[in-house]
Structure 1
Amino acid sequence: MNLRRFLAAVTAPLAVLGTTTVAGSLPAQASAQPGPLSTVKWKACPEYSDQVLDWMGVRDKAWFRATMARMDCGTVEVPLNYADPSGRSISVAVTRLPATDHAHRLGSLAVNPGGPGGSGYLMPIELSQPGAPTAKLNERYDLIGFDPRGVGYSTKVDCEAGGPAGVQAQGLAGLQGWAGLQGLQAQGVQAQGVSPSQITEDDARQMYDKQVQANKDCAQADPAFIGQLTTGNVARDLDRIRIGLGEKKLSYLGVSWGSWLGPVYRSLFPGKVARMWVDSVAPPDPRMDAFEAGRAKATAMDFSRMAAWMARFDDTYGFGTTPEQVEAALAELRRDFDAHPRTFTDLERPVDGFVIAISAAQPSVAWPLAAKVLAELRDATGPTAPPTVKEVLGGGERTPPPAGVPEMDNSTANQAIFCNGDGGARDFDSAWAAYQDGLTRYPVTGVLSFPVPSCAGWPLPVEHIRLLHTGGSLQLSGHRYESVSAYEWTGDMQDAVGGEVFTVEDDMHGSALMEPGCATHVVAYLDTGDPGATGCQGVPVPTGPDELPKAGAQLAGSQPQFGAMSAGR
């Protein structure tokens, strides 16, 4: 795996966490109202060429094709608007990977990789890969994948979702890795000729106006459809899938935004859940402004952990022997690069304080690499970029996907599900004030937030769902040091819906399904109802500057390379 792919695997979030909650005041009984019949229309599964499988990163093509051959593919017809069940209908794409031990089958386990807007169509195959710590799930469960409405093989509408400010407006959500920086530089502020570290209030107002117009244009592409892209409606679609499968109850496994979809389904359809595990838990609060503030705080806290780690290896990095010295040195380095951006002849764009900030916001598995980048930038004399800096920030052309690649995520669904549920402030003044406050509170990483609300000007109504304590079995796995899904949200969600908290002692988004020492508890719970513990270690912190932790290497090497689980959502 090359460096860029490694970074995408270990630093990009699996999901942008659709915490902007969701949809609908309709009662759970809506799924029983007249409308399309809840039956699955099975059909032949897609076939993928070698070129497509190569682009998706499939290593064992023979195994993949053999697994596809035993997988069932189909669609379920559902109402577009559950308040008008006899009106316009749409189709939701479904897959089923039948249990291999049918004699001891436990039922159907629906899976969701996050987003919102991520495709779960191939997730049953991803979870079942040889050597994957979740492979045993397919022994006793039919694994049920699906593309949420608006995504992949389901009915969808595409628009220029998010507009020119979309990348920045998602702030930390889209910029956890250097790969995210490349996306930022390719559009958004950089496309307007403005460095993220030097945004003035006038720049921000222009960005805000463009975001408002882009959101209005997107919503008007098909307002009747886009207005019904909500987490609540995805949950209702999921219950139609349950009915179509002939299941009295459905088990569920979700990550990131999937950790919001699960509790919403559980609240809308009490008594229909057998067992549910959600990882990297979303907050129950639908406010995007509070969501971004929580992420900014968690990112700064994790940076302090990185500073303490770097202080242990001052002989290597030279930023100080105490966490306070390292933090002060990096704050000064960021200010220096803002005032005097470095230009290297072999990089497309100048390197400013924003690169310092994003290097300081890496998860622990990448700390040796990030610290080396920071040290090289401090000592760089030019004219060419230092070797590690060039590896990380060098542009490189991205190969366009071949024909037939399945959609891994849909930006229109992402934006619509966010904004149709966003109950937070969307005005410019509030966002600008929060941005300025973050710059003061977090002198190194605060610049990673942006002064433009992603839902500014979104013209469609906001719907709300009240999460409920409905009883039943539920495990909520939160990562103590994670910045994508702040750990405190796990307790907040437990207060809202109940269940048991399972603590992962790492900072890796979604690692409970991929790190063997954690996944064994996920599998045990779904198999028996008892995880056998209240937590796991997760991905360990590197023990030295030259170490790629074994667990981290396994995570990078075994993480599914196809489908939405690796789409950086």
Structure 2
Amino acid sequence: MNPSDTRTIGRRAAAVVAAAGLAGTLLAVVAPPASAGQHAPPVTWQSCPAYSDQTLALLAPPDKQPQLRELLGRLECGTVSVPLDYGRPNGRKITVALSRLKARDQAHRLGSLALNPGGPGGSGYLMPVEVILRGESTAGLNERYDLIGFDPRGVGYSTKVDCPAPDEMPDPPPPGPLTEDHARRIYDAQVAANAACGRSDPPFLGQLTTANVARDLDRIRAGLGEPRLNFLGISWGTWLGVVYRTLYPQQVGRMFLDSVAIPRFSIPAFVQGRADAAERKAGRMTAWLSEYDDTYGLGTTAAEVRETIIALRADYDANPRRFTDLPEPLDGGLIADAAGQDSPVWPLVGQILKELREATGPTAPPTVKQVLGGSGPPPPAPPADAPERSNRTMNKAAFCNEDPSRSDFASAWAAYRRNLTHNPMTGRSVNFAAGCAGWPLPVQAFRIKPGGGSLVLSGHRWEVPSPYEWTLQTRDIAGGKVYTVDDDVHGSALMECTADLVGFFNTGRIDGGCDGVPVPTGPAAAAAAFSSS
């Protein structure tokens, strides 16, 4: 489940426009006392998974295969035993799976650095390997730190459950604006699915919370014999970081949190914050497109481009286009999706908007056809030994256990309509959803507060999944230093600000920010953007 479930330009375009990691964030809750002082069993080390050639090919491109195999040969794997319910420490136990890449420079080792990619529900088990595969600069994190990956409870190699598939879901809405009647059918079906999921295993699902993942993380720290834990978290991983820091202030070393999560969580606030950020980012794109009116013909000023996009979206909603070589008709949702994309693909977006504006049919314009594709064979199923990348049940449970809103239909419909009015360029990209309505388990709210260690909050000035204001709000509540990345790409600091990030973990010092992912220098970047899809 993703409460900000949005349409995309197309499944094939997802690779072009994807930002780093999964977009997840969470909320705020009061929990039982921390248990840092109690004895924790050591890590039980065991053989790492052996992967088939097919799975190895999924994990890295051909030129990285020798390095991947070398890193997997260095990787150590294990588990820690933790209580399912920390309120009953002598009750049922579950296991949390972890991995370790020992520091290359053991003589100058600084400790363990735990990694989390986001979610909730994202797997971090192979993240130590993935971080190093990104390039020589990111490999610097492993010089003086043991890199620690782990699968949170409910994910991957850790103890988990999967909710049953919903009995039935309504047919997709017809092209054009969503009607209230169809929205009610979506709401009712999602409420039923939430209720069925939550009732499938309440004792386990009720313990899938960020606070419990933080407690598990401290068991990992203790099992490794570390007095303090250093931490790098992205997206939902930033929420995990500030929750850990709240519960265990004396156990925190250096913590860098990139693309910071909303600090006071509810799904309506979460979705609205992202929706408003998408419209702001689209305004930045209109200014860029206006500089290349001779190429795209969308307007010579940002205001003109904005009006062109709004008019095009309204036209496609009123008159959905049916092209003979595309499997589905195109409506205003596609225009809204395009307007909300990250800056690296603005040249591609400009070309798509130009073609959609000029399209006469009966076949789709060339770039639109390339991006959206046509009918074809479905992608092959992943190999049986492929590691789980994310777990939908953990995602749903962690959100819904911590969401205090549980909106009724009238509230959800009003919020959806309000978004369309306030965000005329991009609002249609946000699908109507019931959020956590119908989730049968009690709300477990957590309130973060200042903690120990050295905290850096890395916010991206223009991004959508974690709007910049969430970074400032978190700083005002939990403290720490704000580090500003002047781009719109979720979780890009690890690649774009690597020297600063590595320097922080090595020295504890960092400056005020970095440029991040650059804005394209002109329309010629369109071909390069598409070639990466």
Class of the TM-score when normalised by the shorter of the 2 chains: over 0.9
Counterpart in the other structure of 1:539: 517
> CA shift at 1:11, angstroms?
2.3
Q: How does 1:21-170 map to 2 (within 5 A)?
A: 21=27, 25-29=31-35, 31-32=36-37, 37-59=40-62, 60-129=64-133, 131-160=135-164
Q: Distance in 2 between matches of 1:435 and 1:160?
A: 28
Q: How does 1:186-197 map to 2 (within 5 A)?
A: 192-195=171-174, 197=176
Q: Distance in 2 between matches of 1:431 and 1:124?
A: 40
2:204 pairs with 1:217: no
Runs (5+) with no aligned partner, structure 2: 1-9
Q: Distance in 2 between matches of 1:11 and 1:163?
A: 31
Q: Distance in 1 between matches of 2:368 and 2:13?
A: 15
- The Cα offsets for residues 124-148 of structure 1, whole Å up to 9 and x where unpaired, read as 0011126243110000000000000
Q: Distance in 2 between matches of 1:196 and 1:460?
A: 35
- The Cα offsets for residues 521-562 of structure 1, whole Å up to 9 and x where unpaired, read as 01000010012x201000111111112699x899x79xxxxx
> CA shift at 1:218, angstroms?
0.7
Q: Distance in 1 between matches of 2:130 and 2:29?
A: 29
- The Cα offsets for residues 174-233 of structure 1, whole Å up to 9 and x where unpaired, read as xxxxxxxxxxxxxx7xx6141474211111111111111000111122110011000000
Which SS does the other structure have where 2:413 is aligned? Answer: helix
> CA shift at 1:475, angstroms?
0.3
Q: Which shifted more, 469-478 or 389-398? A: 389-398
Q: Which shifted more, 331-340 or 246-255? A: 331-340
The verdict on how the C-alpha distance between 1:4 and 1:519 changes in structure 2, with shifts beyond 3 A counting, is farther
Q: TM-score normalised to the size of structure 2?
A: 0.94
Which SS does the other structure have where 2:250 is aligned? Answer: coil
2:47 pairs with 1:17: no
> CA shift at 1:434, angstroms?
1.2
2:508 pairs with 1:529: yes
The verdict on how the C-alpha distance between 1:12 and 1:131 changes in structure 2, with shifts beyond 3 A counting, is closer
Q: How does 1:447-466 map to 2 (within 5 A)?
A: 447-466=428-447
Conserved? CA contact 1:428–1:452, under 8 Å = no
Q: TM-score normalised to the size of structure 1?
A: 0.88
Aligned letter for 2:442?
P
The verdict on how the C-alpha distance between 1:114 and 1:553 changes in structure 2, with shifts beyond 3 A counting, is farther
Conserved? CA contact 2:460–2:487, under 8 Å = yes
Q: How does 1:131-530 map to 2 (within 5 A)?
A: 131-160=135-164, 192-195=171-174, 197-395=176-374, 396=376, 397-515=378-496, 518-530=497-509
Q: Distance in 1 between matches of 2:404 and 2:11?
A: 36
Conserved? CA contact 1:58–1:64, under 8 Å = no
The verdict on how the C-alpha distance between 1:270 and 1:508 changes in structure 2, with shifts beyond 3 A counting, is same
Q: Distance in 2 between matches of 1:530 and 1:549?
A: 40
Which SS does the other structure have where 2:260 is aligned? Answer: coil
Which SS does the other structure have where 1:134 is aligned? Answer: helix
Aligned letter for 1:388?
T
Conserved? CA contact 2:342–2:488, under 8 Å = yes
Which SS does the other structure have where 1:42 is aligned? Answer: strand
Q: Distance in 2 between matches of 1:553 and 1:376?
A: 15
- The Cα offsets for residues 56-112 of structure 1, whole Å up to 9 and x where unpaired, read as 344322221221111110000100000011111100000000000000000000000
Runs of at least 4 residues off by over 4 Å: 3-6, 31-34, 160-164
Aligned letter for 1:315?
D
Conserved? CA contact 1:479–1:506, under 8 Å = yes
Counterpart in the other structure of 2:5: none
> CA shift at 1:243, angstroms?
0.4
Q: Distance in 2 between matches of 1:163 and 1:235?
A: 34
The verdict on how the C-alpha distance between 1:156 and 1:22 changes in structure 2, with shifts beyond 3 A counting, is farther
Conserved? CA contact 2:175–2:330, under 8 Å = no
> CA shift at 1:472, angstroms?
2.3
The verdict on how the C-alpha distance between 1:524 and 1:480 changes in structure 2, with shifts beyond 3 A counting, is same
The verdict on how the C-alpha distance between 1:291 and 1:13 changes in structure 2, with shifts beyond 3 A counting, is farther
- The Cα offsets for residues 7-41 of structure 1, whole Å up to 9 and x where unpaired, read as 4264255222222x265511113x5457xx43211
Conserved? CA contact 2:242–2:478, under 8 Å = yes
Conserved? CA contact 2:461–2:484, under 8 Å = yes
Q: Distance in 1 between matches of 2:164 and 2:325?
A: 32
- The Cα offsets for residues 416-435 of structure 1, whole Å up to 9 and x where unpaired, read as 00000012352111111111
Counterpart in the other structure of 2:6: none
The verdict on how the C-alpha distance between 1:530 and 1:548 changes in structure 2, with shifts beyond 3 A counting, is farther
Which SS does the other structure have where 2:138 is aligned? Answer: coil
> CA shift at 1:453, angstroms?
2.8
Counterpart in the other structure of 2:7: none
Percent identity, aligned pairs only, is 54
> CA shift at 1:256, angstroms?
0.3
Q: Distance in 1 between matches of 2:164 and 2:282?
A: 34
Conserved? CA contact 2:32–2:87, under 8 Å = yes
The verdict on how the C-alpha distance between 1:221 and 1:404 changes in structure 2, with shifts beyond 3 A counting, is same
The verdict on how the C-alpha distance between 1:22 and 1:217 changes in structure 2, with shifts beyond 3 A counting, is farther
The verdict on how the C-alpha distance between 1:228 and 1:434 changes in structure 2, with shifts beyond 3 A counting, is same
- The Cα offsets for residues 117-167 of structure 1, whole Å up to 9 and x where unpaired, read as 000000000111262431100000000000000000000000147887xxx
Aligned length: 521
Which SS does the other structure have where 1:342 is aligned? Answer: coil
Conserved? CA contact 1:361–1:445, under 8 Å = yes
- The Cα offsets for residues 290-323 of structure 1, whole Å up to 9 and x where unpaired, read as 1111111100000011111111111111111111
Aligned letter for 1:50?
D
- The Cα offsets for residues 245-281 of structure 1, whole Å up to 9 and x where unpaired, read as 0000000000000010000000000110110000000
Aligned letter for 1:367?
W
Q: Distance in 1 between matches of 2:175 and 2:107?
A: 58
